[in-house]
Amino acid sequence: MSIEADTAARVDAAARAHPVPVPAGAPDSHVRNPGLPLAPEMFLGHPVNRSAAERRAASLTARRSVKKAHQAAWLVNAIRCMDLTTLAGDDTAGRVRRLCAKARQPLAARIVEGLGIGGLRLTTGAVCVYPTMVAHAVRALEGSGVPVASVATGFPAGLMPLDLRLAEIRHAVAEGADEIDIVITREHVLRQDWTALFDEIAAMREAAGAAHLKAILATGDLKTLRNVYAASMVAMQAGADFIKTSTGKEGVNATLPVSLVMVRAIRDYGEATGFRVGFKPAGGMTSAKDALAWQILMKEELGRPWLRPDLFRLGASSMLGDIERQLEHYVTGRYAASHRHAMA
């Protein structure tokens, strides 16, 4: 049997054995990825040319530019694809409520009026918090349609016994989380123990149930782009709804070359299985210019469907202030002081 026929058979078998409903009210416009049995032939030996990836990534922003009204539209789209996040040791219920208020109304009323988007009901893509803060976020976002995402599985290192990591997922879901951002065991990738990695993520997917699963690969710890590609493919085969670059706590977080490798893995997986998987870069992105760069990457490599929050998220809360500042400049012709665009 050919690799293509074998993969198709695996996909059909997985879909029959594990039909996956989309949660009521979820924003998805595509069939949820059910995963498939581990298929190493889809990634083992797959070549990844670092120099070529770096050249392609550099060309994306060098050859593409959006200006004026087009730039404003792209920045508004970045807001609706943003996971507004607080993951600090001194988080409080009050801080989470303020963040949720910002998620409900991410732009000042004067900017919304100036842009003429009052009818858009603009919100961020989600609010992301620790499991103990999920209930506060759920209450603060009630009726807004903004999903609550929770990190879990011993974030950010993930170095906890698996049963405790699964229990943390179940706790966050029980508290009302719509999405779970899990961290993988990096050692599985570094040892190339793909079976262990697959089994771990599949167990996490099962524990999450109807909540969508974002698999954080912590790419800055994975050493090679081949490892990044392989880990991306294994996560998708295990049923991840999104693959995500980083926790934001590594020494190196989201970069365009790493993101390019991951989105091409998404493209290859989609071509082989017919299922769409989302992508979330996180960490190291702070400016409106960054928001444009990653959207250009998605448009160029995956197409327009990956410019929607059901398939693309930006894990970079700090860039919201700069986006708001740039949009105010577009409306008024003047840059406001940074303190006029506080996060919460």
| 244 carries an active-site annotation | yes
SS3 134: helix
- Active-site entry in 181, 221, 290, 310: 181
| 280 carries an active-site annotation | yes
Q: Tokens representing 260?
A: 């390019």
Kindly list the distances between the CA atom of residue 236 and the CA atoms of 16, 217, 269, 274, 282, in Å, as whole numbers in the listed order: 17, 11, 8, 12, 18
One-letter-per-residue 3-state SS of 241-309: CEEECCCCCCCCCCCHHHHHHHHHHHHHHHHHHCCCCEEECECCCCCHHHHHHHHHHHHHHCCHHHHCC
Q: What is 152-187 written as a DSSP string?
A: -SSTTT--S-HHHHHHHHHHHHHHT-SEEEEE--HH
- Active-site entry in 102, 178, 221, 280: 280
Determine the length of the chain.
344
- Active-site entry in 221, 244, 290, 310: 244
| 68 carries an active-site annotation | no
- Give the orientation angle of helix 3-17 with respect to helix 256-273, to 10 degrees: 80
Catalytically annotated residues:
181, 244, 280
